[in-house]
Amino acid sequence: MKRLFLISVLIAVLAAFFASANPDGLDFVGEKLGFSDKGIERTAPMTDYHIGSLPRGEVSTAVAGTAGVLITLSIFWLVAFLLKKESKGAKKSLVFLLVASLFIPVPAFAARPLVTDDFGTVDPGKYEFEAGYNAITPKTAGQTIPGIVSQIKRGISSSFDMGLEMPYTMAAPSGFGDAVIHAKLKLKEIGDGEGLSFRADLKLSNGDAVQGLGSGFLDYGGLFIFSKNLSGVRAHFNAGYAVIGDVLNSCDDDAFIYGAAFEKDIVDGVNVGAEYTGVSCRIRNSGNIQLAGRWQALENVRFDAGYSIGLTDLSNNIATFGLTAEF
């Protein structure tokens, strides 16, 4: 496996110095037959095998090729890892989901790793994909629970987008949890990246409640989001309410949700952020403070990491890292 990886990287690097500047097969045929100008332009993280932060040339092409090898091998490693933990019936669904994702021109989420959402929506016809690894440790006691959360959003109009969030628990029993559907609408824009939005959330009951992978009930809620630039610091404020399903249809678990986040660019392509988030209901209250950082590695791809500290006995400490890509 290591030998195959090294050979793949070597080919990607050497090929950059022998790549032809002439149009490829499809471009050549398009120019000959006159349909080259009829295609739909789409952006990509490494358009024309070029890294945005590097000057065009063989070095940029070699770095882009190497990044492509790493991304491809990482995806197939993740597929293999998850398949080891799935039953035969779930394997088919998992293979379909992961393989299909390779053909969807996307990737997810603006606020990662912060929980507090921001005012913006995805541009019309564009996609955003986000994936992150979380290690959740109960504040009082208990074993750390590892998991992966991925989201995908699509811009429907200039002021509206929709998204789907899929959690996957890696601890035994492992498997997919309840999916969440998001829909965000801009209510008022007051400046560049500033304004008021409303987000509606619906948590499904697709997870196996018997195995502890889901609640077995539908939850739904709404969240108001306000973003404002404050002297070079971007501030985001969230406030909402969630209706939690249960057997008795009780409102004891229904909760107020709130949060405030602040982020600032420190150098080109790097920013840091901090937030406070809380959940309050009749039977419990929880709060967390998170410190986070992001690195814009490519034009449309950024990596992130964060650590959230629980402030009450019912809170969790959460370590996370992941990426966000835009297409």
CB 64 within 8 A of CB 50: yes
**Measured between alpha carbons, how far is 168 from 173 in angstroms, rounded to an integer?**
11
CA torsion sign for 13, 16, 19, 24 is: positive
Please report the pLDDT score of residue 92 as a whole number.
46
Please report the pLDDT score of residue 98 as a whole number.
44
Please report the pLDDT score of residue 288 as a whole number.
94
Closest CA to 197 of 146, 242, 160: 160
**Measured between alpha carbons, how far is 252 from 244 in angstroms, rounded to an integer?**
9
Q: Residue written as tokens 């969630």? A: 242
Please report the pLDDT score of residue 192 as a whole number.
86
Please report the pLDDT score of residue 110 as a whole number.
39
Identify the structural domains of the chain with CATH numbers, from first to last: 2-101 (no CATH), 127-326 (2.40.160.40)
**Measured between alpha carbons, how far is 157 from 160 in angstroms, rounded to an integer?**
5
**Measured between alpha carbons, how far is 209 from 143 in angstroms, rounded to an integer?**
20
Residue type at position 176: F
- Please state the pTM of the whole predicted model: 0.67
Helices of type H across the chain: 2-16, 25-33, 58-84, 88-101
**Measured between alpha carbons, how far is 116 from 112 in angstroms, rounded to an integer?**
9
pLDDT (tens, 9 = 90+) of the chain, 327 residues, equals 556 556 666 666 566 565 656 666 666 666 666 666 655 555 555 555 655 555 666 666 666 666 666 666 665 665 555 555 544 444 444 444 444 444 333 322 337 899 999 999 999 999 999 999 999 998 877 789 999 999 999 999 999 999 999 999 998 889 999 999 999 999 999 988 899 999 999 999 998 888 888 888 899 999 999 999 998 899 999 999 999 887 776 777 889 999 999 999 999 889 999 999 999 988 778 899 999 999 999 989 999 999 999 998 888 999 999 999 998
Closest CA to 177 of 137, 201, 204, 143: 204
**Measured between alpha carbons, how far is 229 from 30 in angstroms, rounded to an integer?**
46
CB 228 within 8 A of CB 259: no
172-188: b (≥16 Cβ within 10 Å) or e: eebbbbbbbebbbebee
The answer for residues whose C-beta is within 8 angstroms of residue 57's C-beta and 6 or more apart is none
DSSP letter for each residue of 23-83: --HHHHHHHHHT-TTSSPP---TTGGG--TTS-SSHHHHHHHHHHHHHHHHHHHHHHHHHH
